[in-house]
Chains A and B, each alone.
Chain A
Amino acid sequence: EPEVTQTPSHQVTQMGQEVILRCVPISNHLYFYWYRQILGQKVEFLVSFYNNEISEKSEIFDDQFSVERPDGSNFTLKIRSTKLEDSAMYFCASKGVGSYNEQFFGPGTRLTVL
């Protein structure tokens, strides 16, 4: 069964460093999303991406964040200068054409900022 994959599973970084989180969505999906979940809290939407551009973004997704689809398979989230409060699980999700909004989540990347 096709699935969303994410790498790395765990990333530890120093405050102020740049990190890139990688996702490979399900191959025939065209809508891609990043969410984050701080430990013990809600899943929060960051950004959605369709047709090679951002379609929606939340207040969390400020200038420190960017997304890119550098090739036909990868979808990346970059955090330019990490802060302690960026420590969270980051989930990538994808959705196919024609579905209402059945998003399928990847396993997540646990980001720890020291």
Chain B
Amino acid sequence: QKEVEQNSGPLSVPEGAIASLNCTYSDRGSQSFFWYRQYSGKSPELIMFIYSNGDKEDGRFTAQLNKASQYVSLLIRDSQPSDSATYLCAVNPSAGGSYIPTFGRGTSLIVHP
């Protein structure tokens, strides 16, 4: 059973701070990793994806991947109240023809003014 684990939170940070969201996964051969943002009652919105070890930056967002530790994280710099949402980590399985991601339960982020 492929597992993707996230702390459900809520993670509460003040406006302007860095929010750090973490995700671990069980399938060592996982190939690609995605972060989705989901506002309450809305659909997941893709914000970042990463395939290689290291950091990937896009605006205020940085995804970090460490395949040896089976760990992926999302940093949000200069957090804004509009960043308050649930952040879903999704992991693609090992190579073998399946492209169906496994989702974590998500971490609820609250950015307070």
Contacts and interface: CB of A to CB of B under 8 A. Distances in A.
A104 B36 CA distance: 10
Nearest to B43: A105
Main secondary structure of the interface of A (DSSP, over half): strand
Nearest to B102: A45
A43 B103 contact: yes
Q: How large is the interface on B (under 10, 10 to 19, 20 to 34, 35 or more residues)?
A: 20 to 34
A42 B105 contact: yes
A100 B44 CA distance: 18
A58 B1 CA distance: 13
Contacts, number: 51
B82 interface: no
Given A41-B105, A43-B88, A108 B99 contact: no
Contacts of B43: 89, 91, 105-108
Interface in B48-75: 49, 51
Given A91-B44, A101-B101, 11 more contacts: A42-B103, A42-B104, A42-B105, A42-B106, A43-B103, A56-B100, A95-B99, A100-B31, A102-B34, A105-B44, A107-B43
